[in-house]
Chain A
Amino acid sequence: MVASIGWGVVAMLVGVIIAFQLNFWEANGHVFEVITRFLNETLRLRFIPIFETDGIQYLTFGRLRPLHTNAAIFAFVGNMMFAGIYHSTQRLCNTRTYSDLLSKIHFWGWQGIIVGAAVTLTAGLTRGKEYAELIWPINIAVVVIWVVFALNFFLTLKIRREKSLYVALWFYIATIVTVAVLYIVNHLQIPTSLVHSYPIFGGVQDALVQWWYGHNAVAFFLTTPILGIMYYYLPKAANRPVYSYRLSIVHFWSLVFLYIWAGPHHLLNTALPKWLQLLGMFFSLMLWAPSWGGMINGLLTLRGAWDKIRTDPVIKFFVAAITFYGMSTFEGPLLSIRSVNSLAHYTDWIIGHVHSGTLGWNGFMAAGMFYWLAPRLWNTKLWSKNLANFHFWIGTVGILLYVASLWFAGVIQGLMLNETDPTGTRLVYEFVQTVDKIQLLMLTRAIGGTLYLTGFILLVVNIWMTARSGTPTNETREVYDDPALARDRMTWKAAFRNDPVTYTVWTLIFGIHWFFLPPGASHMALICMIGFAVMACIKFKQNTKAWSDWYDELSENYLPFTILVIVAVLIGGVVQIVPAITVNRAANVEDRLQTLYTPLELSGRDLYISEGCYNCHSQMIRMLVPDVLRYGDYSRLGESIYNHPFQWGSKRTGPDLAREGGARGDSWHYLHMLNPRSINANSRMPNYPWLFKKETDFGSLPGRIAVQQRIGVPYPIMTPEEIEQHAREQALAISTGLVDQDVRIVVGKGETQPKTKQEARDHLASKEIIALIAYLQKLGTFEETAETGGEGFDSLEFLAPQVPDANRVTVPAKPEPTEEPAELQQ
């Protein structure tokens, strides 16, 4: 708990910092120069040295944002989740945790992982995949610690003295097994060095796997364990049992089954095959029900006890948390509808949605749980109820200001970016105009976040003083140890070969067949599916007691229960991912295929990833008219198929870069990276001066290309010398062009300014900026492959998708942009 509180402050502080960075580019490190210059020159405090810098590479938004997300999710919520699970599981099982040693390893191992994350992420060591940025040695550590946790937890279940597994434990089980599956699959990678690796998936496959993981990290790391915590701590705090146990059964199983399928709603209107997008959309919509089931169960638990909300800050926090949960889980399905998503994707509305969930649900559940736990852990009273109430109110106001600002900002930005003139063929606004328009809202958002952080600091003070006023106490309970306790007696046959499971499985099998079979066969499958569903309902009505008894018995047997959860969770992943991997490969791609990166361009791409450029820039032009008008022809699936990891991006704080290659000269990029405001006075992008001083790592290129070949990128065989020579030659060509245009050469400390043009060329050719320019100029380059004339993607046959997907061919008769992309407003 203490760890969670500490890391929570860190995570929120980093969040506030990056929020201010979005307003003031100087906050990317330059602010220290501003402050020290002000103190030194304006206030004449000459003893304070001026900290001259254009930006500190460790503090740029691109490096801090992954730190913020990882700290908030894994450090803050992770520790809170572990605290709640360990505390409640012991009480729900009426037994001590299986092994204190495992608990200690788990705790210290996890904190070590967090420290490792903080160091590596700010250093630019990243995998480039959201919420999965940590480098491979840390990934292994996470897996080890998670196994330790799982062992500890399941062995505690094994030795439990309570026959039945309470609903909170189901959620913990689902969390542990599903996070394990998700983490391992999304972190399959081949290292190139101790601190770098490439994922084995690329392009669209990587997009799908990443967002299968990413959305279900939200589901099974941020939602299910906290729901479990809600199911224990809310009844305890309110002294009332859960409203409807039956509702908890239904919503638990539908939640864990449906959530997995929702991943593609992060990829709507992109090059992801349309059948996957529709699956993601429909399942996200269906997900609304189980989520609200949880909300209803939580809120109605307070029936007859609503007066407690007036006096008890814990109940206040829980009720607000559950309400925000309901709000977010309504907003989420809404945002998953393709037409809504076409406005909201890449805008700040999504960020607002995320934070209503994280600040409202996770943050407030954490606060409520801490305020409830602390007095009990230290055998005292909460130090100040008034302070807790004040925290509640300042936190609520903070969330509302934050979220409302981003709703407005997102919608404004979306509407502006999508607006065309009355003829429908020209855009009205430049990208930077939208950035200007939402600037004040970005500020109010940062203020909202600051208010929330302030509230959380009040929690720190309150808990600290509570701890000081008490003594740490281990609660002891007398529990009756029944040697003949009838638990875990179910046979495997009884667990799996029974009516409820059978009917469910067959209904699902026919449902999947209905989706994938060609017309005719699919209609038969639909009839069979409906038939099984109807029969299941009839059987349930006839044998209600038998089915209920079976479920009661299942909830007394933790292993069969766990296996069934794993099966429920795997179905969605298998159905969505397996076709994407087996079918959507480069060999099968039609229409366009990505041109391979040269060694230098690969190095530049890895720089793009390590600087975190993907946090603000997308590389996926959607199949929407405004996108095509603004950025060029829509992105095909094959154009990114060799990108390990994929770079489709998920936010456009800056414009999309998918067709950036060739749109501007090398010197434009040179000046832009040195100081974006020299090109565009209103830009918020940080300066990147260190790219002009650091040397490109040519030596690592052979190793990287070897790994790329292993994961399926068809590089020709080259010797290491050939690779390095190719890269250096290309770099020299680019630097020659730049020097001929008399660009300003930047030198680092200890380097001398080159005097001749030849010296300048050689000096510049080895710098990282050249590699990055090479990469940027490659974006959007492709080769045409044999076109097969397929149906347009707007056929109505989306219910019987063809595999491979017919919408990957060029669609004829789209309105062509009337100007060259380079002249389009950007």
Chain B
Amino acid sequence: MFKRVILESWHEYVPYVCFALIAGAFAAIIIRALLMKKSEVERIARLPLEQPEENERTGENQS
């Protein structure tokens, strides 16, 4: 089964690309969080976990 998997030389760079992507995503989220206005932070923190009965809001965070 593994006889058919040959390690190419470019495979070596895949881990570092992965790490860079994850680090980038992480950094972007952190920067966004840090730059967010406090009122906006509090509004998002208060978003309900479940769909309210009235169905007035759309696109809420669901657990």
Partners in one complex: yes
A408 within 8 A of B: yes
Contact A401-B3, Cβ < 8 Å, known A310-B45, A408-B14, A412-B12: no
Least Cβ–Cβ distance between A331 and chain B, in angstroms: 18
B49 within 8 A of A: yes
Least Cβ–Cβ distance between B48 and chain A, in angstroms: 9
Least Cβ–Cβ distance between B62 and chain A, in angstroms: 10
Residue-wise interface mask of A (385-421) relative to B, using a CB-CB cutoff of 8 A (1 in contact, 0 not): 0000000000001001100110010001011101110
Q: B5-38: which residues lie under 8 A (CB-CB) from chain A?
A: 5-7, 11-12, 14-16, 18-19, 22, 26
Least Cβ–Cβ distance between A429 and chain B, in angstroms: 9
Q: Which residues of B contact A343 (CB under 8 A)?
A: 2
A424 within 8 A of B: yes
- Residues of chain B at the chain A interface (Cβ within 8 Å): 1-3, 5-7, 11-12, 14-16, 18-19, 22, 26, 45, 49, 63
Let me know if B22 and A400 touch, CB within 8 A. yes
CA distance A652 to B48 in the complex (A): 52
Return the chain B residue nearest A408 by Cβ. Answer: B15
Let me know if A404 and B19 touch, CB within 8 A. yes
Chain A, interface size category, equals 20 to 34
From the candidates A306, A401, A418, A441, name the one contacting B2 in the complex (CB within 8 A).
Answer: A418
Let me know if A342 and B2 touch, CB within 8 A. yes
From the candidates A342, A400, A420, A441, name the one contacting B15 in the complex (CB within 8 A).
Answer: A441
CA distance A457 to B46 in the complex (A): 32
Least Cβ–Cβ distance between A609 and chain B, in angstroms: 33
Q: Could you write out 16 A-B pairs with CB less than 8 Å apart?
A: A307-B49, A339-B1, A339-B2, A397-B26, A401-B19, A404-B15, A404-B18, A405-B15, A408-B14, A414-B2, A415-B2, A415-B5, A415-B7, A418-B3, A424-B3, A437-B12
Let me know if A419 and B6 touch, CB within 8 A. yes
CA distance A418 to B1 in the complex (A): 11
CA distance A424 to B6 in the complex (A): 13
Q: Which residues of A contact B45 (CB under 8 A)?
A: 310
CA distance A682 to B11 in the complex (A): 22
From the candidates A416, A420, A440, name the one contacting B7 in the complex (CB within 8 A).
Answer: A416
Q: Which residues of A contact B63 (CB under 8 A)?
A: 306-307
Contact A412-B19, Cβ < 8 Å, known A306-B49, A339-B1, A343-B2: no
CA distance A408 to B7 in the complex (A): 12
A444 within 8 A of B: yes
CA distance A419 to B5 in the complex (A): 8
CA distance A339 to B14 in the complex (A): 24
Sort A-B residue pairs by CB-CB distance and give the 9 closest, nearest first: A408-B15, A306-B63, A415-B7, A307-B49, A343-B2, A339-B1, A416-B7, A418-B2, A415-B5
CA distance A400 to B21 in the complex (A): 13
CA distance A444 to B20 in the complex (A): 12
Return the chain B residue nearest A400 by Cβ. Answer: B22
Return the chain B residue nearest A418 by Cβ. Answer: B2
Let me know if A420 and B49 touch, CB within 8 A. no
Let me know if B19 and A444 touch, CB within 8 A. yes
Let me know if A412 and B1 touch, CB within 8 A. no
CA distance A431 to B32 in the complex (A): 46
Q: Output the residue of B2, B14, B19, B63 with the most chain A CB within 10 A.
A: B2
Return the chain A residue nearest B49 by Cβ. Answer: A307
Return the chain B residue nearest A441 by Cβ. Answer: B15
Let me know if A412 and B18 touch, CB within 8 A. no
CA distance A226 to B18 in the complex (A): 32
Least Cβ–Cβ distance between B44 and chain A, in angstroms: 10
Contact A420-B3, Cβ < 8 Å, known A310-B45, A405-B15, A437-B12: yes
CA distance A115 to B8 in the complex (A): 48
Return the chain B residue nearest A412 by Cβ. Answer: B7
Return the chain A residue nearest B26 by Cβ. Answer: A397
Least Cβ–Cβ distance between B46 and chain A, in angstroms: 10
Contacts A307-B49, A404-B19, A440-B16 given; 13 further ones with Cβ under 8 A?
A306-B63, A310-B45, A339-B1, A342-B2, A397-B26, A400-B22, A404-B15, A405-B15, A408-B15, A412-B7, A415-B2, A416-B7, A437-B12
Least Cβ–Cβ distance between A378 and chain B, in angstroms: 29
CA distance A342 to B1 in the complex (A): 10
Return the chain B residue nearest A310 by Cβ. Answer: B45
Q: Which residues of B contact A342 (CB under 8 A)?
A: 2
Least Cβ–Cβ distance between B12 and chain A, in angstroms: 6
Return the chain B residue nearest A437 by Cβ. Answer: B12
Contact A419-B16, Cβ < 8 Å, known A306-B49, A343-B2: no
CA distance A420 to B16 in the complex (A): 26
Least Cβ–Cβ distance between A308 and chain B, in angstroms: 10
CA distance A342 to B3 in the complex (A): 11
CA distance A437 to B15 in the complex (A): 12
Q: Which residues of B contact A339 (CB under 8 A)?
A: 1-2
Q: Which residues of A contact B14 (CB under 8 A)?
A: 408
Return the chain B residue nearest A424 by Cβ. Answer: B3
CA distance A397 to B19 in the complex (A): 11
Return the chain A residue nearest B62 by Cβ. Answer: A306
CA distance A440 to B15 in the complex (A): 10
Q: Which residues of B contact A415 (CB under 8 A)?
A: 2, 5-7
Q: Which residues of B contact A444 (CB under 8 A)?
A: 15, 19
Q: Which residues of A contact B3 (CB under 8 A)?
A: 418, 420, 424
Least Cβ–Cβ distance between B19 and chain A, in angstroms: 7
CA distance A424 to B3 in the complex (A): 9
Q: Which residues of A contact B22 (CB under 8 A)?
A: 400
CA distance A405 to B19 in the complex (A): 9
Least Cβ–Cβ distance between B29 and chain A, in angstroms: 11
Q: Which residues of A contact B26 (CB under 8 A)?
A: 397
CA distance A441 to B1 in the complex (A): 25
CA distance A361 to B22 in the complex (A): 22
Q: Which residues of A contact B2 (CB under 8 A)?
A: 339, 342-343, 414-415, 418
Q: Which residues of B contact A412 (CB under 8 A)?
A: 7, 11-12
Q: A247-302: which residues lie under 8 A (CB-CB) from chain B?
A: none
Q: Which residues of B contact A440 (CB under 8 A)?
A: 16
Return the chain B residue nearest A440 by Cβ. Answer: B16
CA distance A627 to B31 in the complex (A): 49
Q: Which residues of A contact B12 (CB under 8 A)?
A: 412, 437
CA distance A405 to B23 in the complex (A): 14
Return the chain B residue nearest A429 by Cβ. Answer: B7
Q: Which residues of B contact A400 (CB under 8 A)?
A: 22
Q: Which residues of B contact A437 (CB under 8 A)?
A: 12
Q: Output the residue of B1, B5, B7, B26 with the most chain A CB within 10 A.
A: B7
Q: Which residues of A contact B18 (CB under 8 A)?
A: 404
Q: Which residues of B contact A408 (CB under 8 A)?
A: 14-15
CA distance A412 to B3 in the complex (A): 14
Q: Which residues of A contact B5 (CB under 8 A)?
A: 415
Return the chain A residue nearest B6 by Cβ. Answer: A419
Q: Which residues of B contact A310 (CB under 8 A)?
A: 45
Least Cβ–Cβ distance between A436 and chain B, in angstroms: 10
Q: Which residues of A contact B7 (CB under 8 A)?
A: 412, 415-416, 419
CA distance A307 to B3 in the complex (A): 48
Least Cβ–Cβ distance between B33 and chain A, in angstroms: 11
CA distance A401 to B22 in the complex (A): 10
Q: A422-465: which residues lie under 8 A (CB-CB) from chain B?
A: 424, 437, 440-441, 444
Least Cβ–Cβ distance between A306 and chain B, in angstroms: 4
Return the chain A residue nearest B30 by Cβ. Answer: A393
CA distance A86 to B25 in the complex (A): 43
CA distance A643 to B38 in the complex (A): 67
CA distance A412 to B45 in the complex (A): 43
Return the chain A residue nearest B18 by Cβ. Answer: A404
Q: Which residues of A contact B19 (CB under 8 A)?
A: 401, 404, 444
Q: Which residues of A contact B6 (CB under 8 A)?
A: 415, 419
Q: Which residues of B contact A416 (CB under 8 A)?
A: 7
CA distance A200 to B19 in the complex (A): 48
Residue-wise interface mask of A (301-328) relative to B, using a CB-CB cutoff of 8 A (1 in contact, 0 not): 0000011001000000000000000000
